[in-house]
Amino acid sequence: MGKFENKVVIVTGAGQGAGKKLAIRFYEEGAVVGLLDLNGQNLDAVVREVNPDTGRFLTYAVDVSDNRQVTSAIDDIGKRFGRIDILINNAGVLHKGMIESSTDTHMKLMVDVNLMGPMYCTHASVPYMKENGGNIINVSSILATFPNTGSGAYGAAKAGMIVLTKVWAAELAPYKIRVNCYAPGVLNTPMAEDVIKNRAESKLCQIPLRRFGETDDAFDLVSFFCSDQASYITGQTIGLDGGIWATQTPTAAWKL
């Protein structure tokens, strides 16, 4: 019997990377999983890979920045199973751009997907969580608190996720809904492909643990957030980053 037997879980951005891993691991642990992603072909590929039981692995080609699409998909899941236990606001997109050269389209995309999307998903899910309680997991980024040149719009949106985590934790506590967040550094996903492929050593020199994160690391943390062991934890953001830039000399001890 899995740790999340018969729980109803929604994962956004589930077509690849950490979202895909989260969806698969929750399914393997017995959950009913709703996978939301903009790319329907990616979702089809995940289904072929998993070959799931009928009715326990549901895919929705959804643009999380479109409130109507989000509400339609989440309503389908909520009404079909009568509840939603876990929502993971994982979907995100990063396109860098200096403020002087950023277009309206670029800035709007960063905010709509990375900030408005989680708000739409949470707004639609809460009515299906209120009766039985649940967990909402937001995904921020190291760029929210340790920003990089050219990632202003993205970092600002991800910083907003940390604020929303705190506010929602207070607003939803009466319904036994806990809200927590994690902020990845460099995880081995398509979003970090360029860093890992072309700048690995310079980046590893910033990380005390001297390795990049894996998608299983994300599941382990999310699984803890959603467990009884974390029943008194809400409104928190945890860095999932190997201790990146914990000190001015993060890997000096490796030379001792």
pLDDT digits 0-9 by tens, 114-137: 999 999 999 999 999 999 999 999
Q: What is the pLDDT of residue 143?
A: 96
Residue 68 has pLDDT above 70, yes or no: yes
Positions marked active-site: 154
State yes or no: pLDDT of 200 exceeds 70: yes
- Give the closest residue to 136 by CA, choosing from 176, 174, 109: 176
Q: How confident is the model at residue 173 (pLDDT cuts 50, 70, 90)?
A: very high
- The encoded tokens of residue 105 equal 């389209």
Report strand pairing: 8-12 vs 86-89: parallel
- In this prediction, residues 234-256 reach a mean pLDDT of 93
Find out if CATH 3.40.50.9100 is the number for domain 6-186+213-240: no
Query: Can you point out the beta strands (E) in 106-251?
Result: 134-139, 177-184, 237-240
Count of beta carbons in the 10 Å neighbourhood of residue 253 = 10
pLDDT-derived band at 227, boundaries 50, 70, 90:
very high
The answer to whether residue 249 scores a pLDDT higher than 70 is yes
* pLDDT above 70: percentage of residues in the chain: 99
Task: Return the percentage of the chain with pLDDT > 90, whole number.
Answer: 95
**Over 90: is that where the pLDDT of 191 sits?**
no
Task: Give the pLDDT of residue 192.
Answer: 87
Q: Please, what is the average pLDDT of the chain?
A: 96
Nearest by Cα to 219 from 194, 184, 195, 176: 184
Distances (CA, A) of 222 to 29, 30, 133, 179, 229: 13, 15, 16, 11, 12
Query: Is pLDDT of 82 > 90?
Result: yes
pLDDT at 1: 67
| Whether 25 contacts 219, CB under 8 Å | yes
Q: Which of 145, 242, 137 is nearest to 185 (CA)?
A: 242
Residue 255 has what pLDDT? Answer: 81
Question: Measured between alpha carbons, how far is 127 from 131 in angstroms, rounded to an integer?
Answer: 8
Residue 199 tokens read as 């700048």
Q: What is the mean pLDDT of residues 189-197?
A: 90
Spatial separation of the C-alpha atoms in residues 170 and 120, rounded to whole Å: 18
Paired tokens of 238: 């945890």
Q: Does residue 256 have a pLDDT over 70?
A: no
* Residue 3, CA distances (Å) to 8, 25, 73, 145 in order: 12, 10, 25, 33
Q: What is the mean pLDDT of residues 51-71?
A: 96
Q: What is the mean pLDDT of residues 207-233?
A: 97
DSSP code, position 52: P
Interstrand relation of 32-37 and 8-12 (parallel, antiparallel or unpaired): parallel
Is residue 18 scored above 80 in pLDDT?
Answer: yes
